[in-house]
Copies of this chain bind each other. A is one copy, B any other.
């Protein structure tokens, strides 16, 4: 009993985590974040029409006035625009405004974001190897082909890459993992969009995608994990070379 406590206390910094500041996001902040991330990741494609405000606020479980504040913020930043009248609506801006450079806070924690990414993607890899349907794998393979055709157009590539990774998460059937994946990609894309990605880098990255899908098709978890680890680490190394040391 006593020795256990002694042993434990050598390792534990847990109280720091337990007593760390409580970060309660307001509904407004969370909404701006959700919609903004989805738009920036291309999950809501340019020119997409959002549901009418009265419907959307019901879906999000917030008051219309709160939703409108969020929409106003995203219109202000040029990510959305609204038109009035019967055939009006709120649309994802096309083209999108240029991405903002990574914030100092993000640069502070980018290594931890990469760690988190490794976790999410590995979990997805293992579960997709176990559960992905052949149909889902076919769709994802088609996406990999599309990626190959976009090796010279980084913004198209990046968008499809996000779809591929989110698609993998969806193939696991776990909504929580999809959510984790989108949030994590949202955090990452602030970094990834800002570094040079020559043709060769993208080509080798997509070759890893292909190997990953092959492993998934054979339901080979171990290989899927290996390929995914390689894939994530490659990105990490590229980032490490180009960002201020963390």
Q: Does A3 contact B (CB under 8 A)?
A: yes
With a cutoff of 8 Å between Cβ atoms, the chain B residues found around residue A12 in the complex are: 43, 163, 166-167, 170
Main secondary structure of the interface of A (DSSP, over half): helix
The stretch among A97-105, A123-131, A203-211 that forms the contact with chain B is: A123-131
Interchain CB contact under 8 A, B136 and A11: yes
Q: How far is the CA of A139 from the CA of B6 in the complex (A)?
A: 10
Instruction: Give, as a whole number of angstroms, the nearest-CB distance from A117 to chain B.
Output: 9
Interchain CB contact under 8 A, A22 and B61: yes
With a cutoff of 8 Å between Cβ atoms, the chain B residues found around residue A170 in the complex are: 11-14
Q: How far is the CA of A226 from the CA of B45 in the complex (A)?
A: 39
Known: A112-B175, A178-B17. A60 touches B22 (CB 8 A): yes
Oligomer: number of copies: 2
Q: Does A82 contact B (CB under 8 A)?
A: no
Produce 1/0 per residue, A1-43, CB < 8 A to B. Answer: 1011101101111111111111111110011001100100001
Q: Does A56 contact B (CB under 8 A)?
A: yes
With a cutoff of 8 Å between Cβ atoms, the chain B residues found around residue A179 in the complex are: 17, 20
Produce 1/0 per residue, A108-151, CB < 8 A to B. Answer: 01011101101110111011000000001001101100100000
Q: Which 5 A-B pairs have the closest CB atoms?
A: A119-B123, A21-B61, A11-B167, A18-B38, A115-B174
> What are 30 contact pairs spanning A and B, CB under 8 A?
A4-B146, A7-B139, A8-B143, A8-B160, A8-B163, A8-B167, A10-B139, A11-B143, A11-B171, A12-B167, A13-B170, A14-B166, A15-B43, A17-B178, A18-B38, A21-B60, A22-B27, A22-B31, A24-B25, A24-B26, A24-B27, A109-B176, A112-B177, A116-B176, A116-B180, A118-B127, A119-B124, A119-B177, A123-B123, A221-B229
